[in-house]
Amino acid sequence: MAAHTTVADSYFYGTQGQSVNYGVEAYGGSDNLVVNNIYQHVVAPMVIQQSLGSVYAYNYAINDTYADSMGIHWMADEFIQHNAGVEYNLYEGNVGPGFGGDVFHGNQAMNTLFRNYFLGTDPGRPDNTTAIVLESYIRYMNIIGNVLGTPGFTNVYEVTPGMVGTDKTVFDLGGGDVEAPITVAADPLVASTMLRWGNYDTANGAARFETSEVPSSLTPYGNAVPMTKTLPASFYSAAKPAWWPATKPWPPIGPEVSGGNIAGLGGRANTIPAEDCYDGPMAGPPDGSGGALTFSASACYGTP
Distances (CA, A) of 7 to 59, 79, 268: 11, 15, 28
* Pair 114, 195: CB distance under 8 Å: no
Whole-prediction pTM: 0.96
The pLDDT, as a whole number, for residue 133 is 95
Sequence-distant (6+) residues with CB within 8 A of 75 are 64, 66, 97, 98, 120, 121, 122, 125, 127, 128, 129, 130
* Exposure letters 120-129 (e unless 16+ CB within 10 A, then b): bbbeebeebb
Question: What are the helix (H) ranges across the chain?
Answer: 189-192, 273-279, 297-301
Distance, in Å, from the CA atom of 174 to the CA atom of 160, rounded to the nearest integer, reads 6
Q: What are the per-10-residue average pLDDT scores of the chain (304 residues)?
A: 96 80 93 98 94 97 83 88 96 98 93 98 91 96 98 94 77 90 92 98 98 96 96 96 94 98 98 98 96 96 77
How many CB atoms are located within 10 Å of the residue 158 CB?
17
Distance, in Å, from the CA atom of 62 to the CA atom of 276, rounded to the nearest integer, reads 13
The pLDDT, as a whole number, for residue 161 is 79
278 backbone dihedrals φ, ψ, rounded to 5°: -65, -45
Tell me how many degrees the CA angle 194-199-205 measures, rounded to the nearest 5.
130
Q: What is the DSSP letter of 190?
A: H
One-letter amino acid at 19 equals S
Give the total number of structural domains in the chain: 1
* Pair 15, 65: CB distance under 8 Å: yes
Task: Note down the domain range covering 162.
Answer: 1-304
The SS3 call for residue 301 is helix
211 backbone dihedrals φ, ψ, rounded to 5°: -65, -25
> Under the phi-then-psi rule, with left for phi > 0, alpha for psi from -120 to 50, and beta for the rest, what region is 2?
beta
Cα dihedral sign for 57, 159, 40, 74?
positive
